[in-house]
Structure 1
Amino acid sequence: MTVKYYAILTNQGAARLANATMLGSKLNLTQMAVGDANGVLPTPDPAQTKLINQKRIAPLNLLSVDPNNQSQIIAEQIIPENEGGFWIREIGLYDDEGVLIAVANCPETYKPQLQEGSGRTQTIRMILVVSNTEAITLKIDPSVVLATRKYVDDKISEHEHSRRHPDASLTAKGFTQLSSATNSTSETLAATPRAVKVAYDLANGKYTAQDATTARKGLVQLSSATNSDSETLAATPKAVKTAYDLANGKYTAQDATTARKGLVQLSSATNSDSETLAATPKAVKTAYDLANGKYTAQDATTARKGLVQLSSATNSTSETLAATPKAVKSAYDNAEKRLQKDQNGADIPDKRLFLRNIGATNSTTMSFSGGTGWFRLATVTMPQASSVVYISLIGGSGYNVNSPMQAGISELVLRAGNGNPKGLTGALWRRTSVGFTNFAWVNTSGDTYDVYVEIGNYTTRVNIQWDYTSNASVTIHTSPSYTANKPTGLTDGTVYVIYSSHIKPTAADLGLSDASGYVGRLVNTRVFTSSGTYTPTPGTKRIRVTITGGGGGGGGCKAISNNETFFGAGGGAGGTIISIMTPIQNSYPVTIGAGGAGGVSATNGTSGGNSVFASLIAPGGAGGGKVGITNTNGGNGGVPSTGDIRITGGNGGDGQSGNISVSGEGGTSYWGGGGRAGAGGGVSGKAYGSGGGGAYDAGYSGTSMTGGKGAAGICIIEEFA
């Protein structure tokens, strides 16, 4: 059985719930609205932003998670008996910003007013399935809600259960009985203030005990310690027994070691290395006399142990002094800063500066004065088949803030020929628009060549670096001669541009343009939803035309029983053409096919009109047909016969087969679905070129019903340069 009554999230509601779930925030549902949908049972539409015909909106009375299904939210609102006078067919759920979050339909019911002679309290409930109930705030304002009978019963039950507590115990909270007894040993009764006062008064009039001392009797604390010297503690029998056993000879003496006290044997030896004997005074005196001057110390030498003097000097050549830690540290720090032989220069901190200091890097600073033009930069000698020269410029023309192109690099590479023929091969690699822009050379004699470069104005204080193979030589002219024009007799080199975000390739550089210069760049998009004239945008070389014919109208109906035409068919959708063209005229007429009209009473819908651009004809869809009293066939979609891509429109749905209703929906076009069948009249197509829906009368009222109108076509022209 098809579900007739249901609730859905609107598009805005789904988006807000997804956003709340992703960000960890809350969606606050606050109000519910009801309406009569203008007298027709509605179908919930996710695109809705409001009810069709709202009659009442008020705060929610209940908002909770369904205890039987944790993925469902239950929202309730109570309409009191003093409000009414309207039908209820649609329900809407709003958030605290007034956005429609969910919409539902319901069995139609009339809410009477008291003055009509009848009144009732109406409960409206919406059950909504959501993906994440934690993203919804389950909170209502208790000052504005009315309680349902179930809500009151639940609260009474909750309150009743809340009072069924167990008795209190030493391990758990609970109810307890009071007692004023002062001689009870109960652990389940609670003392009254009276019992506490009796105990307090008794304790307050008794003797106050004092601690015992060596001069006074009193309270004393026991101790089992045997090493305490306290005069305020009393020994326990355990402590007395321990002392008795020790005194009674039960302790076993142990020999002393270097790690433990104990018994030890004396010795007068002066040459013993024992660690278990103790020296006698005799042995001590013998050692003392020996140390007291009977031994004559000698200075140490490289061949003999002896006394030595310390020295902190780091430049001494003495062989009789000993270095202090200070001298050792100075020597260590000095060695730490030295280069290691086995590193082969890898431990040099600034290798580039080192190479420059020893003259291993060829570099100079120079200026190109005179303006934009040609300069004789260098003279090179390059033996054939064995030599290469490299020259680079670092810098650019001018000194301006925020001009990164002036921080440029130009690299010139020359390579000798193989001698047959004799000459050079050269390439300039440009990274920026400034620096070297061109170069050439001329052979002056033998293997010697003058190298010329072209450069822009204000190229001053730039760095020139060069390198070459061991058999070549390079002389840089730091004051180069200038000519505005390229000297005659030079051989041109090849210039390569290294493309980047600074120097971007053209379409021709990338091989993207054809003979007409067309590169495929979108210039403009023109949309025609009604007939008019197309004039190409200047610079347009190609156009892509997407054109759709009008949709056919849905069939009508009129019947007093199912043996007549009670269900009209849907109209067919218009065909669509997509084609690439080259505009050759100053302008083109554009015809947009109109949507076919819906059939009136038990008649066919009319066909949609053709849409035309130049030689392209996008045919309209046929209207919903009627081949017999009880058979209504959907209109055929338009079938294009011109253009590059030809898309046939969707057929309309059959409305009635015998005495059985079928579909009656309008055909789907390239742009979307057609209108649905409708009681009281078919729904018009909404997407461009879609068919109208058929009309149906399930009540067999004998009323003349009109089919839905087909949607008009469209023409979209995309212009490319």
Structure 2
Amino acid sequence: MAIVQDYVTGAASIANGSTAVTGVGTAWAAASVRPGDLFMRAGFAVPIASVTDNTHLVLAENWPGTTLAGSTYRIRFQPDGSRYTAAATALIELLADGDLAAIAALTSAADKLPYFTGPGTAGLADFTAYARSLLAIADEPSLQANLGIVSRIRKQVFTASGTYTPDPKMLYCHMMCLGAGGGGGGITGTASAATGSGGGGAGSISRKVLSKADIGSSITITVGAGGNGGAAGNNNGSAGGDSGNGLICTGKGGSGGTFVVSGQGTGGSGGVAGLGDETGNGATGTSVSQSSNILGIGGAGASSPYGGGGRPAAAFASVQPGGNATGKGAGGSGASAHNSTSTAAGGDGSPGYVVILEYCVE
């Protein structure tokens, strides 16, 4: 078998106590210098740990000789058998600390995973099918979806009827539905009397938590219209419309206030409890009794958490229309009259409102 000649091309530099060798005019990688070959100079021979490129290599041990600067050197190629023996020896040394023996001493079993409990000691931990399924998930969003971890909240607001389509990344949502407010009553005044019609009632609120499966691909959302104030004259205000989805979650509209009957304008009742996980009644509009006061005062519209009721209308020797509600879900106020037989209209209620908070994985 032919003997491979030592590699001596170029010059090498290395500091005493260092492992980094730099070459000039060398081609170590191209010449197939490999880990295990010997770097030699002045009677010292140190194994090579790695070859970075043609001009850089790293020794396995610190250089014991004097510092070399552009010096001659030689690299002695080692036969494959010697390399394998050295690698096997290194592996045996690594395993001689008892770690391999600790693993070998364990009794394997289904759904168990070995782990080290200390230097040279090991144990078995449970590794269930569910744990393995989590490790098999490809990306973070998929893992969050599997564990139900919310990382972003989105909001969809409906001030008019439409279609709700859930976000593709939604896990579940919280739906709030507010019914519309009722209108205030209209009025025909009475001579020598102060009178006022009733204010409209506020819509009720319902809330519900829904999963993506509960919603499906989409659902229809209805936003109730505010009730109209009673037309000028002895006319009741109309009720506000319901808001939400009649099969899932609904806030009911408030009732309209009445015109003056038997000396009293009665406030509209609030929306009754609707459909949802949490429900409640809306506030009732203010009622007013006929009197001989110096002012005629209409009944105030009921306020909601999202809107103000119509302000009471005050009349002196005249009639005054009711005030319109503001915001969402509030009632309009009733009209008023004082020492007058003229007519006036009630105030309008404000529309309903639907808000959906979506809890998403991203």
- Paired residue type of 1:590: I
Counterpart-to-counterpart distance in 1, 2:116 and 2:51: 25
- Is the Cα contact below 8 Å between 2:307 and 2:325 reproduced in 1? no
Q: 2:203 aligns with which of 567, 574, 577?
A: 574
- State the 1:369 CA deviation: 8.9
Q: Which shifted more, 620-629 or 659-668?
A: 659-668
Indicate conservation of the 8 Å contact 1:563/1:659, yes or no: yes
CA separation of 1:536 and 1:652: change in aligned 2, threshold 3 A? same
Match of 1:379 in 2: 95
SS class of match (2:94): strand
CA shift for structure 1 position 595: 0.5
Asked whether the equivalents of residues 619 and 639 of structure 1 are also in contact (C-alpha less than 8 Å), the reply is: yes
Q: Is the 8 A contact 1:604 1:624 kept in 2?
A: yes
Partners of 2:298 and 2:190 lie apart in 1 by: 20
Matched, 1:632 2:265: yes
The structural deviation recorded for 1:701 is: 3.2
Runs of 5+ unmatched residues, structure 2: 1-47, 53-89, 109-113, 128-139, 315-319
Q: Which one of 331, 334, 337 corresponds to residue 691 of structure 1? A: 331
* Residues 1:629 and 1:659: Cα distance change in structure 2 (over 3 Å): farther
Partner of 1:654: 287
Once residues 568 and 593 of structure 1 are traced to their aligned partners in structure 2, the CA distance between those partners, rounded to angstroms, is 24
How many angstroms does 1:654 deviate by? 1.2
Q: How does 1:243-254 map to 2 (within 5 A)?
A: none
Aligned structure 1 segments of 4 or more residues deviating by more than 3 angstroms = 366-370, 414-417, 419-422, 491-495, 506-509, 520-523, 657-663
Residue 540 of structure 1: aligned partner? 170
After superposition, the C-alpha distances for 1:445-465 in whole angstroms (9 at most, x for unaligned) are xxxxxxxxxxxxxxxxxxxxx
- In structure 2, the CA distance between the partners of 1:425 and 1:581, relative to structure 1 (3 Å rule), is closer
Distance 1:421 1:674, change over 3 A: same
How far 1:517 moved relative to its partner? 4.7
Is 2:179–2:251's contact at 8 Å kept on the other side of the alignment? Answer: yes
Structure 2 residue 296 is matched with structure 1 residue 665: no
Give percent identity, aligned residues only.
30
Q: Which has the larger radius of gyration?
A: 1
SS of match in other structure, 2:354: strand
What per-residue deviation string (whole Å, max 9, x for no partner) do you get for residues 537-564 of structure 1?
A: 2122212111111100011222143547
Would you say how many aligned residue pairs link Structure 1 and Structure 2?
Answer: 246
- Between the aligned partners of 1:663 and 1:415, the Cα distance in structure 2 is 93
Rounded to whole Å, the distance in 2 between the matches of 1:697 and 1:604 is 15
Q: Describe the superposition over 1:600-624 as per-residue Cα deviations: whole angstroms up to 9, x where unpaired.
A: 2232111111113243222100001
How far the C-alpha of 1:717 sits from its partner, in A, is 1.2
Q: 1:379-415: CA deviations, max 9, x gaps?
A: 2334xxxxxx8xxxxxxxxxxxxxxxxxxxxxxxx99
Task: Look up the match of 1:555.
Answer: 185
Cα distance in 2 for partners of 1:598, 1:555 equals 6
In 2, distance between residues paired with 1:610 and 1:672?
Answer: 16
**Distance (Å, rounded) in 2 between the aligned partners of 1:492 and 1:648:** 59
- Bigger RCO of structures 1 and 2 (CA < 8 A, at least 6 apart): 2
Corresponding residue SS for 2:196: coil
- Asked if 1:617 corresponds to 2:262, the answer is no
CA deviation digits over 1:218-246, x for unaligned, max 9? xxxxxxxxxxxxxxxxxxxxxxxxxxxxx
Pairing 1:245-394 to 2, within 5 Å after superposition: 378-382=94-98
Can you give the 5+ residue segments of structure 1 that lack an aligned partner in the other structure? 1-365, 383-388, 390-413, 429-467, 473-490, 496-505
Aligned partner of 1:589 in structure 2 is 220
Retained in 1: the 8 A contact 2:197–2:260?
A: no
8 Å CA contact retained: 1:425, 1:493: yes
Residue among 627, 637, 642 paired with 2:275? 642
Q: 1:522 to 1:646 in 2, by over 3 A?
A: farther
Q: Structure 1 pair 577/521, CA: closer, same or farther in 2 (3 Å)?
A: farther
How far apart in 1 are the matches of 2:330 and 2:242?
A: 13
Residue 704 of structure 1: aligned partner: 343
Q: Root-mean-square deviation (CA), in Å? A: 3.9
The Cα of 1:627 is off from its aligned counterpart by 6.1
Q: Is the 8 A contact 2:234 2:260 kept in 1?
A: no
Q: Deviations over 1:40-84 (max 9, x none)?
A: xxxxxxxxxxxxxxxxxxxxxxxxxxxxxxxxxxxxxxxxxxxxx
Q: Are the structure 2 counterparts of residues 557 and 421 from structure 1 closer, same or farther at C-alpha, using a change threshold of 3 Å?
A: closer
- For residues 685 and 657 of structure 1, do their structure 2 counterparts lie closer, same or farther at Cα, with a shift above 3 Å needed? same
What residue identity is the alignment partner of 2:350? A
Aligned counterparts of 2:304 and 2:204: Cα–Cα separation in 1: 7
Partners of 1:548 and 1:714 within 8 A in 2: yes
Deviation at 1:685, TM superposition (A): 0.9
CA 1:537–1:560: 2 relative to 1, 3 Å: same
Q: Is 2:158–2:355's contact at 8 Å kept on the other side of the alignment?
A: yes
| AA in 2 matched with 1:568 | S
Shift of 1:534: 1.2
The alignment partner of 2:306 has SS state of coil
Superimposed CA distance per residue, residues 247-297 of structure 1 (whole angstroms, 9 cap, x where no aligned partner): xxxxxxxxxxxxxxxxxxxxxxxxxxxxxxxxxxxxxxxxxxxxxxxxxxx
Q: Which amino acid aligns with 1:596?
A: G
Partners of 1:719 and 1:692 lie apart in 2 by: 32
On the 8 A contact 1:518/1:542 being kept in 2, the answer is no
How does 1:119-268 map onto structure 2 within 5 Å? Answer: none
Structure-1-length-normalised TM-score:
0.30
Offset of residue 656 of structure 1: 2.7
Q: Quick one: which amino acid aligns to residue 695 of structure 1?
A: A
Structure 1 residues 557 and 507, CA gap change in structure 2 (3 angstroms) = same
- What is the deviation of 1:657? 4.6
Q: CA deviation at 1:368?
A: 8.8
What SS class does the counterpart of residue 381 from structure 1 fall into? coil
Task: Classify 1:517/1:421 alpha carbon distance in 2 versus 1 (closer, same or farther; 3 Å).
Answer: closer
CA distance in 2, matches of 1:380, 1:494: 28
Distance 1:704 1:367 in 2: 104
Q: Distance in 1 between matches of 2:262 and 2:274?
A: 34
Residue 717 of structure 1 is matched in structure 2 by 356
Distance in 2 (alpha carbons) for counterparts of 1:546 and 1:626? 32
How has the CA–CA distance of structure 1 residues 560 and 520 changed in structure 2, closer, same or farther, with 3 Å as cutoff?
same
How far apart are residue 532 of structure 1 and its match?
1.1
Give 1:588 shift.
1.1
Contact 1:691 1:710 in 2 (8 A): yes
Query: What is the aligned counterpart of 1:678 among 313, 316, 330?
Result: 313
**Does the C-alpha gap of structure 1 residues 369 and 550 become closer, same or farther in structure 2, counting only changes over 3 Å?**
farther
Whether the aligned pair in 2 keeps the contact of 1:427 and 1:493 (CA below 8 Å) is: no
